[in-house]
Structure 1
């Protein structure tokens, strides 16, 4: 029993999985389906009920009336078959019953003609004539768009009847269908307009959330739409304000700490300047310079770049700038760019991020190549070198603050261990990330990916 029950469930699950592939992915399309689908089902049920109950019932009653009129004429003709009586019967049928009557030879009854697919009138009228008149007959409801032709085999002749189609079936049903379809279209149009107005604030909220994820300002987000959407917009704005306030407080605190530390370093420099030249003095001066450089890197890492406003910059100009810095260190550096020349970023932070990646490549490699591609809403910048690279198991650790792969972790080692951490922090502020891969040049390939 269990396998039999499982089969229908699996079949239903497969059906819904296949149906899900064709479902709209956006909220507007899904909301439209939720509104339109019940309306279509309701209209289909109304059309079925109307055709099955009302239209067919009215057509049956009208066809029955026409069949009784024909039966009465047939009986009168058989009682009074003379030419004079037939002429009077024609007048009565035309004036009172609106039926044009003719008399044809007995062999004028053709065989039944093929019927079209939809022959509700043929079936109904033929059934009523068969039940009421009970004589051989032939009908044609499709040969003429306005008239119905009926031939009845009487005692010595074939009586031919012409009557209007509107006398045999409900001819105003199309008006009901037109009104129903027209009303449905108007309601659907109104629903579409209302849905667009309700979806628009949600789209603005989603765009604002994306801007916030890229580190852009969301101060100009007006609350609009339903109360839930307004609450979500207000919550997003307040969250952004709180985060910026916390970052600002942290930056102010660290700026104070930096000022105090710089004051101490300045004292060291003054004391060193008063000392006589010696190897110890040179070593201490080198240590003070390293401490100041580490302090600057730490402040850049801890302070972040969230206070800088976004603006459009020329990407080839920034690439050329970082390449020229690499050449000052006698490291050959080339770059290529494909796509739009301008991107919206935080200029100083973006240049620092790219400069840290290029600086890291220059520190460990002898040649550096930069490849930039901007397309499909994403900017991808790959910085490659021919250095020793980074083992795959350590590629996540290098983004940790103060982590260095070099064996010497003393003050003589170049770098503070914050270059890649700062670069990743800036990438995350822009809503992107940094991937480390093996380079075709034999070293490391650092890929900076940002949404644009």
Structure 2
């Protein structure tokens, strides 16, 4: 429902287009940029894990997998460990906005096709991925920034914060512009009801001053005629 007051309507004229614009920009950014970058990063991480699994398959005699661990850490930035074969842990809590979980899950199913478990919540700066192999569980610790476009959140925060600051400035400026109009309306209403308007003075923008001055001249003519 459209508000009846001039100040409220003026605020809607400013706020509604800005909110709509920010919503469209955020949606396009989320859909086209953030989602795409996160998918590409997650795909690269899972490709590295798939390559490590292939190396593991062709070196079954290396029980400690020391060479594989060295390659993973020095060349790929991944910490790899092998756990005894067992059931996967139960699924952990998912964040409300689980873009990273979705991207990693899709790539793990597509590229590796083995049972897996993901933890993107336990350690905020790291991501833990477990993949069930034939004789062990491969545990991979990766940096969150390697699989997730985390700097995109900063962009959204700056965008929303800037919009709020601009809206606040617009509200303060608009209030100063609306005040003379409201004063003119109050003065006209008081004079129409037969009450004195002793302290009214023209103020505000040029058009508002002209209207206020015309009101005062009309008021003086009516008072002289009476």
Normalising by the residue count of structure 1, what TM-score does the alignment of the two structures yield?
A: 0.46
Contact 2:83 2:139 in 1 (8 A): yes
Alpha-carbon distance, 1:193 to partner: 1.2
CA contact (8 A) 2:46 2:108 kept: yes
CA contact (8 A) 1:78 1:154 kept: no
User: Are 2:175 and 1:196 aligned?
Assistant: yes
- Where 1:102 maps in the other structure, the secondary structure is strand
User: CA deviation digits over 1:110-136, x for unaligned, max 9?
Assistant: 155155343221121011122112333
Q: How far apart are 1:221 and its partner, in Å?
A: 3.8
- Give the counterpart of 1:138 among 106, 111, 117: 117
CA distance in 1, matches of 2:128, 2:92: 15
Partner SS state of residue 159, structure 1: strand
Q: Could you give the per-residue CA deviations for residues 119-163 of structure 1, whole angstroms, max 9, x where no partner exists?
A: 221121011122112333222222322221112223432211111
Aligned partners of 1:121 and 1:169 also within 8 Å: yes
Per-residue CA deviation, residues 187-219 of structure 1 (Å, 9 max, x unaligned), is: 111111111111111122122213423445557
Deviation track 1:319-375 (CA, whole Å, cap 9, x = no partner) reads xxxxxxxxxxxxxxxxxxxxxxxxxxxxxxxxxxxxxxxxxxxxxxxxxxxxxxxxx
Structure number with bigger Rg:
1
State the partner residue of 2:70. Answer: 91
- Give the 5 Å matches for 1:215-230: 215=194, 218=197, 221-230=200-209
Pairing of 1:337-416 with structure 2 (within 5 A):
none
The answer to whether residue 113 in structure 2 is matched with residue 148 in structure 1 is no
1:58–1:189 distance in 2 versus 1, CA, 3 Å: same
Task: Specify the alignment match of 2:210 in structure 1.
Answer: 231
Q: How does 1:68-107 map to 2 (within 5 A)?
A: 68-83=47-62, 86-107=65-86
Q: Which residue of 2 aligns with 1:246?
A: 225
Tell me the TM-score normalised to structure 2 length: 0.89
RMSD: 2.2
1:66 and 1:234 map into 2 onto residues whose CA distance is 72
Q: Distance in 1 between matches of 2:66 and 2:81?
A: 10
1:318 aligned residue:
none
From the superposition, tell whether residues 205 and 76 of structure 1 become closer, same or farther in structure 2 (CA, over 3 Å): same
Structure 2: gaps (5+ residues): none
Mapping of residues 165-184 of structure 1, within 5 Å: 165-184=144-163
Q: Distance in 2 between matches of 1:162 and 1:126?
A: 15
Q: Is the 8 A contact 1:218 1:240 kept in 2?
A: no
Q: Provide the rounded CA distance (Å) in 1 between the counterparts of 2:107 and 2:90.
A: 16
Task: Report what 1:110 is aligned to.
Answer: 88
Distance 1:234 1:214 in 2: 19
Select 1:163's aligned residue among 131, 142, 153: 142
1:83 aligns to what SS in structure 2? coil
SS of residue paired to 1:68: helix
Cα pair distance change 1:156/1:219, threshold 3 Å: closer
Preserved contact between residue 92 and residue 119 of structure 2 (Cα < 8 Å): no
Partners of 1:218 and 1:227 lie apart in 2 by 21
Count how many residue pairs are aligned between Structure 1 and Structure 2. Answer: 225
Q: Greater CA deviation, 83-92 or 170-179?
A: 83-92
- Structure 1 distance, partners of 2:25, 2:19, is 10
- Residues 117 and 131 in structure 2, CA contact (< 8 A), matched pair in contact too: yes
Name the SS of the counterpart of 2:149 in structure 1: coil
